[in-house]
Structure 1
Amino acid sequence: MIHLILSACLAGSSGDCVPILLPEAESAVMAECESQAERVSRNWLKRHPDLLEEQVSCQSATSLPALPLRELAPGVHVYLGESVQMEESANGRIANLGVVIGEKSVAVIDSGVSRRQGQELFAAIRQLTDLPISHVILTHMHPDHVLGTSVFKEAGAEIVGHAALPAALEYRAQTYLDNLAELYPPQEVIGTEVILPDRQVADRDIIDLGGRELLLKAEGTAHTDNDLTVFDSKTETFFSGDLIFRDLTPVVDGSLNGWLEWLEAAPAPMPRRIVPGHGEVAESWKIAVTPQTEFLTMLRDSTRAAIADGLPMSDAVPVIAKSMQIIENKWNSFEETAARDATAAYKELEWE
């Protein structure tokens, strides 16, 4: 396939330019891409007045930067992010992303932290298949999972998320974009937008890719209040989003008790492999969830003990975090996250 690449620069800036892949002009032959280049690039820039065109070109998919994808099973591929917090990453590419290829179309599970990462995921898919990318499934609201969506939206994909995701994203959209701009250089984040779901899942849903079905389930409040899981029934592969952390310290942004309840109830049918939101793919449920269950249980028990001792939150948080240091060497980015989790746990458990 041939792809239109717009070199776009920040207005009023010198040298802050990035390649923008415009999937609307995706073509089988070079001449067809070139015939659409001016119209497509002009229309895109109208929607992005902060950017100026430097040049446009048509390039083959094999020449484009592409994320490295690992094939887990026939038609199931993953990108494994760096298991650190965004503040410790050079580009924010810390989340695991999934690609499932059916007989008729392709689904993406989480799109990455920026348009640039989303484009590289798009290019990686195009090196595997020319099938249409019909769906992007967002497992929850956090920016490392959702901010690469725009390129897939422009390619015609339906964006799918938990019923609570639109409100959560709308509320945090500008904060996410501002934080991204503070953390990373302009070349990493130019063109990044917040895209809301077209299709919302309140309970369960099914996506048919042709020859394989993805089973979607809206979970109760746990890691967040908008967690969505995905099960590929053909290969029995379970995408948990950030309901499962491996290596990277878990972040409580929903309900500690709800999260522990979710972990206690193994999914049915039992998956053959589990793709967590962060860390390595696991071959069994026990391997996937035991360390995280230990972490969250210790967090709950330490918080309850501090509350029982009558400590105010300002005094309790360092006490809770210190009590958990015995498992610090099992987790990346532990110190800052443990203190944040202690704060969230105290607020939730104080009025039990």
Structure 2
Amino acid sequence: MNALRIPQSRQLRAAIAGPAPIPVSAVRPASLCRSVAIGVALVLASALGCAPAFAAGKDVSKEKVINPAYLTEVSPGVHVIEDRQQIFLVPNVTIIVGKDAALVVDTGLSVKSAQLVLQTARKLAGNKKLYLTLTHFHPEHGFGAQAFKGQATIIYNRAQREELIKKGPAFRALFADKLNVAEAMKDVRLTMPDVVYDTEAEIDLGGRVVKLNYYQAAHTLGDQVISVPAQGVVIMGDLLETKSFPIMPWFPDLADTDVDPLNWREIFRKVAATNPKVVIPGHGRIGTVADLNEAAQHMDVAREEVARRCAAGNDLATIQKELTPILEAQHPDWDLKDWIAMEVQVYYERLCRK
């Protein structure tokens, strides 16, 4: 019996070995300075004088290596290597184990991190079949995927694969050049999936079914929501950073203006409607449906306030100046405050540009 199920009309299989890894090119974005914080949830980059400064994050690990000592079981068979120290460029990594197979979600930035994740998965799953998938293409979440090639069946949604092909080399250069991780990324080769799907896929791990859903663009073009419906577990990637303002990248110099806050909000609605018990974010502490609802409420307020000021004829600079402190004051305990101005810009671009 095939444990991986994709509705036939939505299925697209790669060659069994998948395309060869993409060698990292010398591509450089037109403006690295403006783009330094893309996809990074926890970093203090203000020293560069050009990027949002983050309120959270500790640069205590030059190698940006995931720490398996922080492995915790958040639901039966669902294990998370937590981003407990909030180390810059270290995400939460999830390993879901069934009777017959296991699924790994995200690998970390480097091959070294991914090897540690693979070792941890093997300790949990033994010789069971392995699958790997990624929440989205950003480097700190999936650039270690090559460690799993030949060890696991790698699954992306089609949009995620295409975004990796299009943007991956420039993001690799950006992170290596401006975020002081060139050494950690020196062996990285962008890795293609063995299987891709269009909108949904399902993996029966043996007594534990995992769903993969692509709901169209939000934080990136290819964000993926992974869930264990029977247990009320959902993995959000960077669609949610608990107790943090959303990261909405808007960087024309990298041809990266794909963020869609309106659909992002709709994804929150869909996920919250399932009333999950455990919500695993891209970075930060494990959350609940209350965190989803709080983040959704913030997005509603931001959208409505930008739209109202647009209708009154205010320009972007005026709206940012007025609205940024208002939104910050509503959540004084949230991190990533320096992303508020860009969030306002994204809503302005989506709602106000003629």
The question of a shared fold, defined as TM-score above 0.5 by the shorter chain, is answered with yes
**Amino acid corresponding to residue 281 of structure 2 in structure 1:** P
Indicate the residue corresponding to 1:215 in structure 2: 211
Indicate the residue corresponding to 2:82 in structure 1: 80
Which has the greater radius of gyration?
Answer: 1
CA displacement 1:227-271 (0-9 Å, x = unmatched): 221122453322122233212321125211112222233456543
CA displacement 1:43-91 (0-9 Å, x = unmatched): xxxx89xxxxxxxxxxxxxxx974531111222100222686xxxx55x
Query: Equivalent residue of 2:79, what SS?
Result: strand
User: Structure 2: where are the runs of 5+ without partners?
Assistant: 1-22, 25-65, 250-258
Contact 1:232 1:238 in 2 (8 A): yes
Indicate the residue corresponding to 2:14 in structure 1: none
Contact 2:210 2:227 in 1 (8 A): yes
User: Structure 1: where are the runs of 5+ without partners?
Assistant: 1-46, 49-63
> How big is the shift at 1:332?
1.3
Indicate the residue corresponding to 1:271 in structure 2: 276
Q: Mapping of 1:289-300 within 5 angstroms?
A: 289-300=292-303
Q: Which has the higher strand share?
A: 1
Contact 1:83 1:248 in 2 (8 A): no
Indicate the residue corresponding to 2:93 in structure 1: 97
Name the structure, 1 or 2, with higher relative contact order (CA <8 Å, separation 6+). 2
CA displacement 1:194-219 (0-9 Å, x = unmatched): 22333222222111222322112111
Contact 2:68 2:81 in 1 (8 A): no
Alpha-carbon distance in structure 1 between the residues aligned to 2:186 and 2:67: 16
Query: Equivalent residue of 1:324, what SS?
Result: helix
Indicate the residue corresponding to 1:168 in structure 2: 163
1:133–1:149 CA distance, 2 compared to 1 (3 A)? farther
Indicate the residue corresponding to 1:311 in structure 2: 314
Is the counterpart of residue 325 in structure 1 residue 328 in structure 2? Answer: yes
**Amino acid corresponding to residue 164 of structure 1 in structure 2:** A
Contact 1:140 1:162 in 2 (8 A): no
Alpha-carbon distance in structure 1 between the residues aligned to 2:261 and 2:137: 17
Alpha-carbon distance in structure 2 between the residues aligned to 1:272 and 1:207: 20
1:219–1:320 CA distance, 2 compared to 1 (3 A)? same
Query: Equivalent residue of 1:215, what SS?
Result: strand
Q: What TM-score comes out, normalization by structure 1 length? A: 0.72
1:197–1:315 CA distance, 2 compared to 1 (3 A)? farther
Contact 2:131 2:153 in 1 (8 A): yes
Contact 2:272 2:293 in 1 (8 A): no
Indicate the residue corresponding to 1:235 in structure 2: 231
Is the counterpart of residue 245 in structure 1 residue 241 in structure 2? Answer: yes
CA displacement 1:155-188 (0-9 Å, x = unmatched): 2x12212221122111211222112213124442
Q: Mapping of 1:152-191 within 5 angstroms?
A: 152-155=148-151, 157-182=152-177, 183-191=179-187
Alpha-carbon distance in structure 2 between the residues aligned to 1:65 and 1:205: 29
Query: Equivalent residue of 1:193, what SS?
Result: coil
Q: CA RMSD in A?
A: 2.8
Contact 2:80 2:95 in 1 (8 A): yes
Alpha-carbon distance in structure 2 between the residues aligned to 1:164 and 1:245: 22
Contact 1:75 1:100 in 2 (8 A): yes
> How big is the shift at 1:136?
0.9
Indicate the residue corresponding to 2:120 in structure 1: 124
Alpha-carbon distance in structure 2 between the residues aligned to 1:329 and 1:117: 33
1:65–1:245 CA distance, 2 compared to 1 (3 A)? closer
Alpha-carbon distance in structure 1 between the residues aligned to 2:155 and 2:169: 21
Indicate the residue corresponding to 1:261 in structure 2: 266
Q: Percent identity?
A: 22
Q: What TM-score comes out, normalization by structure 2 length? A: 0.71
